[in-house]
């Protein structure tokens, strides 16, 4: 059976962030992930996880001004200094929290920007981050995101992400495969995950349409979970969905596994 991680940014939002660790534990989760820990001290987050008895398996590098609509800065040439400072900050948190992998959000391509410059900036930043994280035993991940939900997001397909990984040339750069985003952009979920399994370090889920819990849309999650077991996926699957009602009411899909 797959191992699921509660995404505390999407689930248990009825609770303050620090209280969501305990809520996830009470719901039966042994692991959690979230977008960012940086609004709290590393010690506060660590204490909440330890008290709840849950493992933190993933969070993101700093991604610019989220509240203003930024969704990453790694492809932006004028933000390289800020990106590198964010890498150092993320390593400090990940080390304190025992997090073994960090995700890098590429960001949105500005209108009229030169595609070659954006790609070169992203590649250089990923080389830098992969080396710095690798020195601390932390994996670096990149995630393609659909351009319906985030118009202009630079990294939006599996093939594109893998080509960038190849260009970076690091053995410490992996793919974060989000089933919901890739269903919207390209489909072929089972075949893609099987083909590229050695390069996938983390998987996330939500159903489509609506980005709600499994069983509310068109994706056959019972099949996909069995498929992931059959092909030998051993990582966590992050539950990055928006419950239709409350988090607890939406967890019924787990009982049938």
Catalytically annotated residue among 143, 213, 218, 226 = 143
Q: What phi and psi values does residue 23 have, to the nearest 5 degrees?
A: -60, -40
Number of Cβ within 10 Å of residue 2's Cβ equals 17
240 counts as catalytic: yes
- Tell me whether residue 143 is one of the annotated catalytic residues: yes
Q: Which residue has the tokens 């010690």?
A: 43
Q: How far is CA 177 from the centre of its chain?
A: 8
The one catalytic residue in 33, 70, 82, 240 is 240
How does DSSP assign 218-231, residue by residue? S--HHHHHHHHHHH
Evaluate whether 131 touches 168 at the Cβ level (below 8 Å): no
Active site residues: 143, 240
């Amino acid at each position: 059976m797959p191992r699921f991680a509660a995404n505390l940014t999407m689930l248990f939002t009825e609770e303050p962030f620090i209280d969501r660790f305990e809520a996830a534990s009470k719901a039966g989760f042994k692991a959690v992930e979230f977008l960012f820990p940086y609004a709290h001290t590393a010690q506060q987050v660590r204490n909440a996880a330890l008290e709840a008895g849950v493992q933190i398996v993933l969070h993101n590098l700093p991604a610019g001004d989220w509240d203003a609509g930024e969704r990453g800065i790694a492809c932006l040439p004028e933000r390289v200094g800020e990106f590198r400072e964010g890498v150092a900050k993320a390593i400090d948190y990940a080390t304190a929290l025992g997090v073994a992998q960090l995700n890098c959000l590429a960001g949105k391509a500005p209108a009229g920007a030169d595609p070659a410059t954006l790609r070169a900036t992203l590649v250089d930043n990923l080389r830098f981050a992969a080396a710095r994280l690798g020195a601390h035993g932390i994996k670096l991940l990149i995630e393609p995101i659909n351009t319906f939900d985030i118009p202009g997001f630079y990294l939006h397909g599996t093939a594109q992400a893998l080509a960038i990984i190849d260009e970076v040339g690091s053995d410490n750069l992996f793919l974060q495969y989000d089933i919901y985003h890739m269903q919207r952009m390209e489909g072929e979920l089972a075949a893609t995950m099987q083909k590229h399994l050695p390069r996938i370090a983390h998987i996330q889920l939500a159903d489509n349409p609506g980005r709600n819990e499994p069983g509310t849309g068109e994706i056959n999650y019972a099949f996909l979970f069995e498929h992931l077991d059959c092909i030998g996926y051993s990582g966590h699957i992050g539950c990055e969905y928006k419950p239709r009602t409350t988090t607890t009411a939406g967890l019924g899909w787990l009982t049938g596994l």
